[in-house]
Structure 1
Amino acid sequence: MRIAFFTETYYPTPDGVSHYLHEVKRGLEARGHEVFVFTLTGQLERNVVRPLSVPMFWYRQYRWPVNFFPFILYKKMKDVNPDVIHIHDPFYMGTLGYRLARELRRPIVATFHTDFSKMMDAVSLPMKETLFRISWRYNMYLYRRCDAVLAPSPKAAELLRSNGAGNVRVLPLFTDLSRFTWCRRESVRPFLAYIGRLTVDKGVWRAVEIARELGRSVGGTRLMIAGTGPEEERLKESVPEYKEAEIEFLGYVSEEEKQRILRESYFFVYPSTSDTFGISVLEAMATGLPAVVTPGFPLLDFTGSGDCTILHTEPPETAGRIRALLENPSSYMQLSEGARQFVESNFSSEAHIESLLSIYSSIRQKTK
């Protein structure tokens, strides 16, 4: 089968979607399928096509196309002649994928990776409310015209259906359990980690407040923050005010550095309000880290999540829950073992790819 992915972002761009696509491409190719990636960012590798682009001024790891009428690029897309078209964003590349599917009369799948409606506070633009409203409407307009829309969690599927999308199927994401291995922590220390974009909606400010409250109650703590984003400078300016916590800003980190951070940490703090799944949380849990997440976080929809998560309400209460685990290593160990078991039981890469292939085959049969 020849499969074409259309995405704004690809590996090693620092976000969950780019890494996910890289893993899925490898998995599909290992099963004998051809996968082509049309993207605006990422490394050039076999069957990856990236047109000329320039960095976004507010989010420099992402890019704008230079040519909004890409006749040569579109010809390359047609020459690929894919059996299935899979769009992973609803904007520039996603629109090109949709147009190609309609012209070639190919089945089209979309994956709902990002809830753009929750990201408005992360950018500073004139008339941003209007811009986000129009973007969300276009997002749903495109999804309603796809043969299948994949949601990474039941919560995301419910949001899609409530906005008129049909043919919605839940397909959870996964993490590589061979890279993110369980680490036994003999003692429990107040070391926290946050890995993700530094934006308001991802909860990085809440993570800092939790570290501050915990430091007050236990006599100091450490928070490692890995990632980049529009809140980075404001956070760094505020750090001198947080005497109770040692806060390290590590910027964008490699996969090897990410694994080191998780091995050295004891709790993963990610109180996001905008995720449709939470791949960074899954990676942390795979190493045995109990995760601090908000009520309603998408991973809580899956069986066993209550055995490995700490619900964040207000910083003092959340810090109190962490402190109780610091004082009770056996309870911490139960959460740590439960975190790994939760990932192993619910999120297999093999099952994900097999389900994806089954969806491709079924919509190809329906659209013949």
Structure 2
Amino acid sequence: MNLLMLSDVYFPRVNGVSTSIRTFARSLARMGHAVTIVAPDYGDDSGQEQHDGHGEFEVLRVPARVIFFDPEDRLMRADAARAMRDALGLREWDVIHIHTPFRAHAMGVQLAREMGVPTVETYHTYFEEYVGHYLPWLPTALGRFVARAASRRLCHGVDHLIVPSAQMVEVLQRYGIDTPHTVLPTGIDLAEFQGGDGARFRERHGIAGDVPTLVTVSRLSLEKNIGFLLRIVQRLVGEFPDLLFLIAGEGPDEARLRRLAGELRIEANVRFFGNLDRRTTLLDAYKAGDAFVFASPTETQGLVLIEAMALGVPIVSTAVMGTATVLRDTHSAVIAQEDVEAFAAQVAQVLRSPELRARLSAAGPNDARRWSSDTLMRQVESLYGSLAQQRAELATT
């Protein structure tokens, strides 16, 4: 099949949506499908990119501008988006898969209408919970109303939804959205999450092998709830004075988190490492942790939890929305409430017990196998084929 994927965000912008799109594209390309991704041009070298770096799929960039309230992201220019839509209309597509609700959505829906091609959209982001963080000047009730109304309009404009968790389906149903859907998390390429050398990471950064260490991998933004994890560290340093909290990721909340660490008097216990290379140093960072900690309440997927499982890193996490789906029936994670005392007690239990850490670690790779992208993408392939066949049958009647 010829598959077109449209998104308002993609690498070099690092986040879960970018990772999900690349996982989709790589898996489907390995299955023999022709995949094209259309995404914003972030400047530098991204506008010159024609392939993903391995020749597996095509990447087309659309000139874009900086968004004043979210400088990490880009908005495709309207004239450039129209020109790209016209160029795409000269090619043949079996399915158009939309990943974000802005210019990419409008481009995909109009292109599909003109060409008679079925549309799929993944509901990646719990927008109702995010709108207050990105538009703080908007009254909360109004922001939630706008997010729900926009979600209804967008979801009713496509043929089929991919929703990463059953919990997110319940949210969409409360919105009154009745578009046909499939519950399907992206999963990860397990081959990419093997190895890793925690001792090497510790040595490189001057961390002794016996220092108790927590790690998290996340975009640094308010909705990721990393401030809560800093309070966990503050609660634990009395028992574990040498405790280190390693934070891998970048984002707009970094300055506030650094200030908070200072206010909590744990600057010496917290280290920020920015975005690390997913093939090398990120794997080492995961493995450097005695436990991976996570507490975001708004995840639709929680891919970093699956990555930690695959690498055999013990997990302590809340289980809400997508993380509840990922952590259900696992043996590699300790589930904690979003309460400082309760969460800290669970982390302390893991840090105190080498036996517990070993048991959680050993269970991780087996837990991660449920989320193999190759297995999950077979379901996507089947969905695409079914939609294309239905559209072809309608065209002949």
TM-score where L is the length of structure 2: 0.85
Shift of 1:207: 1.2
| Structure 2 CA distance for aligned equivalents of residues 182 and 29 of structure 1 | 25
Number of the residue aligned with 2:163: 151
Deviations 1:312-335 (A, max 9, x none): 331222111121222221122111
Q: Is the 8 A contact 2:197 2:288 kept in 1?
A: no
Alignment pair present for 1:250 and 2:273: yes
1:79-90 aligned within 5 A = 79-90=90-101
| Structure 2 CA distance for aligned equivalents of residues 180 and 329 of structure 1 | 23
Q: 1:257 to 1:265 in 2, by over 3 A?
A: same
Alignment pair present for 1:321 and 2:346: yes
Q: Is the 8 A contact 1:150 1:170 kept in 2?
A: yes
Q: Is the 8 A contact 1:11 1:21 kept in 2?
A: no
1:72-111 aligned within 5 A = 72-111=83-122
| Structure 2 CA distance for aligned equivalents of residues 128 and 55 of structure 1 | 24
Q: 1:69 to 1:328 in 2, by over 3 A?
A: closer
| Structure 1 CA distance for aligned equivalents of residues 198 and 216 of structure 2 | 18
- The match for 2:192 among 179, 184, 187 is 179
Number of the residue aligned with 2:205: none
- The match for 1:336 among 349, 361, 384 is 361
| Structure 2 CA distance for aligned equivalents of residues 70 and 128 of structure 1 | 31
Deviations 1:53-95 (A, max 9, x none): 1222333321022335743122112122311010001111112
- The match for 2:50 among 45, 64, 76 is 45
- The match for 1:239 among 261, 264, 271 is 261
Moved more, 130-139 or 148-157: 130-139
- The match for 1:209 among 231, 241, 250 is 231
| Structure 2 CA distance for aligned equivalents of residues 101 and 39 of structure 1 | 17
Stretches of structure 2 lacking an aligned partner (at least 5 in a row): 52-57, 200-208, 393-397
Secondary structure at the aligned position of 2:182 is classed as strand
Q: Is the 8 A contact 1:171 1:352 kept in 2?
A: yes
Letter of the structure 1 residue corresponding to residue 155 of structure 2: Y
TM-score where L is the length of structure 1: 0.92
Stretches of structure 1 lacking an aligned partner (at least 5 in a row): none
Number of the residue aligned with 1:61: 72
Q: Is the 8 A contact 2:167 2:322 kept in 1?
A: yes
- The match for 1:134 among 132, 136, 146 is 146
Q: Is the 8 A contact 1:223 1:247 kept in 2?
A: yes
Q: 1:128 to 1:90 in 2, by over 3 A?
A: farther
| Structure 2 CA distance for aligned equivalents of residues 50 and 183 of structure 1 | 33
Q: Is the 8 A contact 1:121 1:200 kept in 2?
A: no
Number of the residue aligned with 1:19: 19
Q: 1:317 to 1:125 in 2, by over 3 A?
A: closer
* Identity between Structure 1 and Structure 2 (%): 25
Q: Is the 8 A contact 2:7 2:38 kept in 1?
A: yes
Q: 1:49 to 1:158 in 2, by over 3 A?
A: same
Secondary structure at the aligned position of 2:259 is classed as helix
